[in-house]
Amino acid sequence: MRADPMDHEALLNTLLHELKDGVLVCDPDAKITLFNQAAEDLFGQSQSFGKGKSLYSLCFQPPVEHALNLLNYQYESNNQSLPFPYVQFMNASRNQEQFFRCRVSFLPPLTAQKKSFVIIFEDISAWHIPDNPLYMKIEEFRAPMTNLRAAVENLTEYPEMSPVMHSAFENVLVQESINLTEAFNALAGSCRVIMQTQNLLTELNSVVLFGYVARHLQNKKISVVVSPKQSIGTKVDIYGLLLVLDYLASSIKHKQKGIGLSCEIHIDKQFIYFDFVWSGPFIPPAAVKKMLAKKLQHSIGAITVAAILNSMGGDIWSQQQKNAQSTLRLALPITIKAGNKP
């Protein structure tokens, strides 16, 4: 015996009504088809809110589209071991007076070329502060720590002094780097304790993340080399990460006109790396610092590169390689150990 479709709609309306977060059901063209009372409380005063209205008249379109594209990429990749039911991300009202933690998921049938979706809005305006002062205080640790890390890498990979002196300098640099890193991690740990209930990141497997980022950069005419597939978990703000990668690539192209820019994506025991590589002079630390302070126009809340990276525990620094090649590295921490499913 088949249930009456009207009974299903009544049940769905009842379930939605009980949820404290705003829920919108949208068709493939992002037109609102259903919403609950909490969504009406959030958006009801807007003339753009209601059945048949566009979702994008209420919030910013690019973060939603990136989340939907990522969901679609995961489905197309047929990654059965990691079925992500939703993507979590940050968004804001069109006037940027309200900020939301959003979760979006497709509705069946998933085989349809264009899919309907459900999106949940959690109002975080009460505690979210763009360019949070606590994060900015942490940022004071970043420059010396990054400089030491870059120095250690260059000194280790390209020694140009006697073995004795090289060993002495290396030991000093490594020890200072460890000390500074421990101090930074202690402060960052305190920050994470405060902010752990305010997490805006989505958990991703590295295979999915690498493939999605590679396709994005290739669409920007940037050559990409991905390390052998390795299944590692991490937490990312996918929209923020792509904004930062696009900004770094355009900055390098602007500073080094006519270069052939490529990106190498790989993993070590602690970090995931996105390395922009080109032939030419490297970017000095002072210029990297300016990059970190850059406010990205299309970010949610118009925040800086540093703030976006801070939210993921990430960092950037510059290196000089052999054969007059240079690297600008973006590193993200591995947050979920190998073999564990996010």
Query: Of 58-67, 147-156, 229-238, 243-252, where does mean pLDDT reach its minimum?
Result: 147-156
Would you say the CATH fold of 133-199+201-333 matches that of 5-123? Answer: no
Taking each continuous run of H as one helix and of E as one strand, the counts in the chain are 9, 12
* DSSP-derived pairing of the beta strands 325-333 and 271-279: antiparallel
Question: Residue range 290-303: average pLDDT?
Answer: 89
Q: Would you state the structure tokens that stand for residue 275, as one six-digit string? A: 């390395």
Q: Is the pLDDT of residue 135 over 50?
A: yes
For residues 52 and 107, the model is more confident at 52
Q: Give residue-wise pLDDT tens across range 164-201.
A: 656 655 665 666 667 677 667 766 655 654 554 446 78
Percent of the chain with pLDDT over 70: 68
Q: What is the pLDDT of residue 14?
A: 58
Report pLDDT for 166.
62
User: Among candidates 91, 94, 113, which has minimal Cα distance to 104?
Assistant: 91
Full-prediction pTM beyond 0.85?
A: no
Domain 133-199+201-333 has CATH 3.40.190.10: no
Share of the chain above pLDDT 90, in %: 35
> Is residue 161 pLDDT above 70, yes or no?
no
CATH for 5-123, options being 3.90.1010.10, 1.20.1090.10, 3.30.450.20, 3.30.365.10: 3.30.450.20
| 13 contacts: CB under 8 Å, gap ≥ 6 | 34, 36
Phi-psi region of 325 (alpha: psi -120 to 50; beta: other; left: phi over 0): beta
pLDDT above 70 for 303: yes
Q: Are 91 and 64 in contact (CB under 8 A)?
A: yes
Fill in the amino acid letter for 143: A
